[in-house]
Amino acid sequence: MIGRILLACVLALALAPGLAHAADPAVIDAARHEGALAVADSAPGENFQKFMAAFKAKYPFLDVATGFYSGPTGRVLARVNAEIDAKRLSFDVMLAANTAAWIDMTRQGRIQLYASPEYAAYPEHAKMDGYWAAAQAIAVIPVYNKNVLPPGDAPKSWRDLLQPHFAGKRMAIQNAAAGTQFNWSYLLRQALGPEFEQKFAAQQPVVMATGAQMTDAITRGEVMLGAALDHWRAFTPEAAQAGLVAVFPTEGVPLTIVPVGILAGAPHPNAAKLFIDFILSQEGQHLLDTELYGMYSMRPDVAPAAGQKPLSEVHALLPTDQADYLRASQDFPRHFEELFH
Partner 1 sequence: MILPRSSRPETVLALLVSGIVAVLVLPPLLAVVFAGMGAGFAPLRQPQVILNTLFFGLATTACALLIGGALALALLPGVPGRGILERLVVMPLYLTPLLTAMGWNWLASPHSGLLNLVLHAVFGPWATINAVSLGGVVLVSALALAPLPYLLISDALRAFDPALLEAGRVHGAAPNLVFRRIVLPLLLPAGLASAVLLCVQSIGLFSVPAVLGIPAGFHVATTEIFQLLENYPPQIPEATAWGVLLLGTSALLTLAQAALLRRRSFVTITGKAFRPGARIARARLARAVLAWIYVALATVLPLIALFWAASSTFVTANPKLMRFTLRHFSFVLFTYPKTWLAAGNSVVLGALTAIVVCLLGLAVSWVVLRGRGSGRGALDQLSMVPLTMPAMVFALGLLWVYVRVPLPIYGTVAILLIAYATHYLPFGVRTTSAALRQLHPELEEAARVSGASWLRTMRRITLPLIQPTVLAAWILLFVMAMQEVSSSILLYTSHSIVLSVAVFDLWENGNQSDVAALGFVQLAASFLVVTVVLGVRQRRGLA
Residues that bind partner 1 (CB under 8 A): 44-46, 49, 65-75, 77-79, 81-83, 85-86, 88, 90, 98, 100-101, 104, 145, 147-148, 172, 175-179, 206-213, 215-217, 219-222, 238, 241-243, 329, 333, 337, 341
Helix (H) or strand (E) holding 338: helix 322-340
Instruction: Give 241 or 312: the residue with its C-beta nearer to partner 1.
Output: 241
Asked if 262 and 254 touch (Cβ cutoff 8 Å), the reply is no
Asked if 149 and 226 touch (Cβ cutoff 8 Å), the reply is no
Asked if 242 and 231 touch (Cβ cutoff 8 Å), the reply is no
- Output the smallest distance, CB 250 to partner 1, in A: 29
- Output the smallest distance, CB 30 to partner 1, in A: 24
Beta bridge partners of 258: 136
Instruction: Give 145 or 282: the residue with its C-beta nearer to partner 1.
Output: 145
- Output the smallest distance, CB 208 to partner 1, in A: 6
Give the whole-angstrom CA distance, residue 42 versus residue 15: 32
Q: What dihedral do alpha carbons 56, 62, 64, 65 form, nearest 10°?
A: 100
Instruction: Give 28 or 239: the residue with its C-beta nearer to partner 1.
Output: 239
- Output the smallest distance, CB 303 to partner 1, in A: 25
Give the whole-angstrom CA distance, residue 172 versus residue 213: 10
Give the contacts of 52 (CB within 8 A, at least 6 positions apart): 39, 64, 65, 68
- Output the smallest distance, CB 129 to partner 1, in A: 22
Give the contacts of 280 (CB within 8 A, at least 6 positions apart): 116, 118, 119, 121, 122, 133, 135, 260, 299
Instruction: Give 208 or 279: the residue with its C-beta nearer to partner 1.
Output: 208
- Output the smallest distance, CB 288 to partner 1, in A: 16
Instruction: Give 68 or 191: the residue with its C-beta nearer to partner 1.
Output: 68
Instruction: Give 172 or 192: the residue with its C-beta nearer to partner 1.
Output: 172
Instruction: Give 35 or 300: the residue with its C-beta nearer to partner 1.
Output: 35
Asked if 253 and 187 touch (Cβ cutoff 8 Å), the reply is no
Give phi and psi for 132, each to the nearest 5: -155, 160
Give the whole-angstrom CA distance, residue 239 versus residue 141: 15
Instruction: Give 101 or 279: the residue with its C-beta nearer to partner 1.
Output: 101
- Output the smallest distance, CB 131 to partner 1, in A: 17
Among 242, 227, 249, smallest CA distance to 143 is for 227
- Output the smallest distance, CB 72 to partner 1, in A: 5
Cα 37–Cα 41–Cα 44 angle in degrees, nearest 5: 135
